[in-house]
Amino acid sequence: MIRLFHVYKKFGANSALNDVTLNVDEGEFAFITGPSGAGKSTLLRIMFGAEQPTSGQVLVNSVNFNRIRRQKLDLLRRRIGFVFQDFKLLNDRTVSDNVAVALLASGERGAFVRKRTHQALKLVGLSGKGKSFPRQLSGGEQQRVAIARAIVNNPVLLLADEPTGNLDPDLTRDIMVLFRSIHLRGTTVLIATHSRELLSETKRRRIVLNRGVVVEDR
Amino acid sequence: MLRRAPYFFVQAVKNLRNNLGVHLIGMGTTTVSLVIFGIFLLVFVNVNSWVRGLGGSGTMSVFLEDPTDESQLLSIREAIESIEGAEVVRYLSKEDALQDMKRFLGPHEELIDTLDSNPFPASYEVVFEGKTHPSNPEAVRSKLESIENVESVQFTEQWISSVKGMLAVVKVAGIGIGCLLGLGVLTIVTNTMRLTIYSRRDEIEILKMVGATDAFVKAPFFLEGLIHGSLAGGAALAVLFAGYKVLSLQKETIPGLGILNVDFISAPYFMALWAAGVFLGLFGSFIALGRFFRQYERGETL
């Protein structure tokens, strides 16, 4: 699903990633971990095409980001879901509209959008909150809305950047259960986190970054 | 793209509503600028029409000495028409000339009443074959002036050419001021659109994140610019038309305007003025979006 070959990323004189080479297979559920500033978010953003590597090759779902055109990248992103720590919801739109935006941006409309939005909200346990606004929800519920938006297009890959960073331990567990259920539906899931509690509860693969270098992969 | 038009329209209206203050300032400026340009257009079109009406006939005015009796008038007329191609089209008596002046003065016609006697001379209006001036107007003038009881001869073309010169200045000034106003309005509309785009940058980021194409993201903003320009153009035409109506109703009270026919700008100019508003709105959006997306691609905006 994801292939990185000797990826480097520099921001001015600072190196965010140094010679990162890794594979994530289709259907995998893995964590990227490491201390703050290790390069986790940069790595996810490169996998999503939001950042260009300074050098190296990035292939996602068999598409080489170095050779892809802007329009093709837009189409590829419809197959990749992304969840942020700060949710990134539109506060002036209802929960349903926040989820539906991903479908509308993909060119879907009408009854299909309503049906898929309802299904996604049901999956994350928010089927009764469609008409609420994000500010009327708890942090955990807002993150569920963000996850619903990320999965509403049935992505092949779900990337999450510190998705539980703003949540308490109980809500963190709920969200992880949700990610596992999404993974069981066949989606490849990759989560960046520095939470030791989260990692201690799982034996899944973890890719450990430190100062932009993969120091452990098991 | 068309099937998503309702979505784009709703987003554009939301953007307008959420940024109503800046849009009202931008639309107000666009309206005022278009009205100023429209006034130039109105003046140009009307003066041009008056000049064409006068100049097209190639008229010469032959003023007569006082007093002139019927037989003298007849002999002057015969002498005028003996000149090759000349034809008398109108006799304007002293009384007619006085009444013309009264109409010209409008509400100030009582000024005429202060005169002891009628100072205006009687005249003949003369046109030439083919309704154009003779090839040698100075020779014709000499011939006309040599006729007994003729006081002076005036070529309408002389003052028409000076009015045409003024008209050319009005035209150049109108184009110059129009261009400057256009640039000013474009800057304001561009900045208005930049503010609305920046106010929705989170939404743009989310849309790009979920795979929206650039066209999908840009369309509501183009529509917003189009609505902005259309409303400003429409408002400018409404203001201009209201001003024209007031002027038409009051023109009898304005010296010099009473005897003239004042027209509103014709349909093509009307549409062109509105289209100028639409163009400025659209082009402003185009520039603002271009800048935003260039910054977005460099990762500077998010």
pLDDT in tens, B40-70: 888 888 877 777 666 555 678 888 887 778 8
B273-294 pLDDT, tens digit per residue, is: 899 999 999 999 999 999 888 8
Please state, as a whole number, how many other Cβ atoms lie within 10 Å of the Cβ of residue B175.
13
Q: Give the span between the Cα atoms of B192 and B186, in whole angstroms.
A: 10
Share of residues in chain B with pLDDT > 90 (%)? 14
Choose, out of B210, B214, B296, B300, the residue to mutate when testing the contact with A (most A CBs < 10 Å). B210
pLDDT at position A117 over 90: yes
CB-closest option in B7, B207, B209 to A82 = B209
Q: Do A104 and B7 touch (CB under 8 A)?
A: yes
User: Which residues in chain B have their CB less than 8 angstroms from residue A12's CB?
Assistant: none
Q: Give the DSSP letter of residue B256.
A: T
CB-closest option in B18, B205, B213 to A74 = B213
Q: Give the span between the Cα atoms of B285 and B194, in whole angstroms.
A: 8
Kind of pairing, strands A157-161 and A80-83?
A: parallel
pLDDT for the residue B225: 92
A82 touches chain B (CB under 8 A): yes
B1 touches chain A (CB under 8 A): no
Q: Do B209 and A90 touch (CB under 8 A)?
A: no
User: Which residues in chain A have their CB less than 8 angstroms from residue B212's CB?
Assistant: 74, 105-106
A37-65 pLDDT, tens digit per residue, is: 888 999 999 998 888 899 999 998 888 88
User: Which residues in chain A have their CB less than 8 angstroms from residue B298's CB?
Assistant: none
Choose, out of A51, A87, A101, A158, the residue to mutate when testing the contact with B (most B CBs < 10 Å). A101
For A83, the closest chain B residue by CA position comes to B209
pLDDT at position B189 over 80: yes
Kind of pairing, strands B86-92 and B123-128?
A: antiparallel
Three-state secondary structure call for residue B107: helix
pLDDT at position B302 over 50: no
Q: If pLDDT is split at 50, 70 and 90, which confidence band does B192 have?
A: confident
Helical (H) or strand (E) element with B195: helix B156-199
Q: Any residues with CB less than 8 A from the CB of A67 and at least 6 apart, and which?
A: none
A149 touches chain B (CB under 8 A): yes
B245 touches chain A (CB under 8 A): no
Using alpha carbons, select from A97, A96, A175, A156 the residue that is nearest to residue A130. A96
CB-closest option in B7, B205, B212 to A74 = B212
A78 touches chain B (CB under 8 A): yes
Q: Could you give the ipTM of this predicted complex?
A: 0.84
Matching residue, tokens 């994350």 = A124
pTM: 0.72
- A139-151 and A169-184 are packed helices; what angle lies between their axes, rounded to 10 degrees? 10
Q: Do A51 and B206 touch (CB under 8 A)?
A: no
Q: In degrees rounded to 5, what are phi and psi of residue A65?
A: -65, -25
CA of B299: how far to CAs of A147, B69, B191, B205, B295, in Å?
24, 93, 21, 11, 6
